[in-house]
């Protein structure tokens, strides 16, 4: 929290963050309490942004407990920041409210405190969005060549696959620059998740794909790279490998719901508008 406060922000930690759940210890608090925290923060006129504390295994559990009608009635949109399992909430904000959000570091994530570049990327996105319209990293490279324009969408692969078939899931990512990353998965599991997106039609018409980090995925980056080529190659769209967002030791903040151009040959994602505009 000290980093956020150093930016001149007043930080309020919602009760559910530290409440605990004795029955399901991987959850910060019971579902109703966490949903109430998010809804209250979103509806509070004194709150400008909601930053997730952690990735949130239970994010998917609270999506349908929120009062989306009340949240949609706000005269001014707010900022929502998070990654990993927060993908479920990013998708809900996009589909139910039509809002742009930030796929970026969470306040209690290790990378936010350990990597100055990660924190600085979020700060600049929030306060100087015009300065971070071209996104790339030292690891970014072309997997499949070409340029594509579309609106950014996506996030954590396993959460996007889990969203298939739910009542408010978007039918496909047609026309989107799709972001995909994940953590701590075996090769066969990544194959299964990608295949689910393909079979469900979610990837039909996608404009391009930006791949992020595959931290602790097994057995090796090279085999994961080959899997991505085999599964995504038939789409016939540009694909960037390791753009630099997600669960890695450093992490870009990537706006979702923003028109952008993916240049696979250059390994860049260029936002056509500043974040959250």
Q: What residues does 240 pair with on adjacent strands?
A: 142, 210
Is residue 58 within 8 Å of 31, Cβ to Cβ?
Answer: yes
* pLDDT at 195 > cutoff 90: yes
Q: 27 versus 239: which is more confidently predicted?
A: 239
Average pLDDT of the segment spanning 228-250? 97
* pLDDT at 277 > cutoff 80: no
Topology of domain 2-129, CATH = Rossmann fold (3.40.50)
Token look-up 């997106």 returns: 197
User: Per CATH, the architecture of 134-271 is what?
Assistant: 3-Layer(bba) Sandwich (3.50)
pLDDT band at residue 54 under the 50/70/90 scheme = confident
All residues at 6 or more sequence positions from 271 whose CB lies less than 8 Å from its CB, including other chains: 132, 133, 134, 135, 152, 255, 258, 259, 260
Supply the angle between the helices 221-232 and 187-200 in degrees, to the nearest 10. 20
* pLDDT at 23 > cutoff 90: no
Q: What is the pLDDT of residue 252?
A: 98
Q: What percent of the chain has pLDDT over 90?
A: 88
pLDDT band at residue 211 under the 50/70/90 scheme = very high
Rg (CA), the chain: 18
Q: What is the pLDDT of residue 245?
A: 98
Give the catalytic positions in this structure.
84, 181, 247
* pLDDT at 19 > cutoff 80: no
Q: What is the pLDDT of residue 176?
A: 98
Query: CA torsion, points 183, 134, 198, 213, in degrees to nearest 10?
Result: -10
Q: What is the pLDDT of residue 78?
A: 93
State how far the alpha carbon of 146 is from the alpha carbons of 82, 208, 238, in Å: 29, 9, 5
pLDDT band at residue 26 under the 50/70/90 scheme = confident
Q: What percent of the chain has pLDDT over 70?
A: 100
pLDDT band at residue 29 under the 50/70/90 scheme = confident
Write the pLDDT tens digit of every residue in 146-183: 999 999 999 999 999 999 999 999 999 999 999 999 99
pTM: 0.96
* pLDDT at 82 > cutoff 90: yes
Parse the chain into domains and list their residue ranges. Answer: 2-129, 134-271
pLDDT band at residue 270 under the 50/70/90 scheme = very high
Token look-up 């139910």 returns: 96
* pLDDT at 22 > cutoff 90: no
């Amino acid at each position: 929290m000290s980093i956020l406060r150093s930016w001149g922000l007043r930080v309020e930690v919602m009760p559910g963050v530290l409440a605990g759940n004795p029955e399901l210890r991987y959850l910060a608090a019971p579902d109703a309490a966490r949903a109430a925290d998010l809804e209250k923060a979103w509806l509070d006129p004194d709150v400008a942004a909601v930053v997730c504390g952690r990735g949130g295994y239970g994010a998917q559990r609270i999506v349908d407990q929120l009062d989306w009608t009340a949240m949609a009635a706000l005269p001014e949109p707010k900022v929502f920041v998070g990654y990993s399992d927060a993908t479920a909430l990013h998708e809900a904000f996009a589909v139910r409210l039509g809002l742009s959000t930030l796929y970026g570091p969470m306040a209690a994530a290790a990378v936010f405190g350990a990597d100055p570049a990660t924190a600085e990327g979020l700060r600049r996105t929030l306060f100087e969005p015009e300065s971070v319209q071209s996104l790339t990293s030292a690891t970014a490279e072309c997997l499949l060549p070409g340029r594509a324009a579309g609106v950014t969408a996506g996030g954590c692969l396993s959460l996007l696959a889990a969203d298939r078939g739910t009542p408010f899931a978007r039918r496909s990512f047609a026309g989107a620059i799709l972001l995909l990353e994940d953590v701590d998965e075996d090769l066969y599991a990544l194959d299964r998740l990608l295949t689910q997106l393909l079979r469900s039609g979610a990837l039909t018409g996608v404009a391009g794909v930006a791949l992020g980090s595959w931290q602790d995925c097994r057995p090796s980056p090279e085999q994961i790279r080959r899997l991505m080529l085999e599964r995504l190659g038939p789409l016939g769209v540009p694909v960037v490998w390791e753009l630099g967002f997600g669960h890695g030791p450093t992490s870009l903040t990537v706006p979702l719901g923003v028109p952008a151009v993916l240049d696979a040959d250059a390994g860049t994602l260029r936002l056509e508008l500043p974040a959250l505009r």
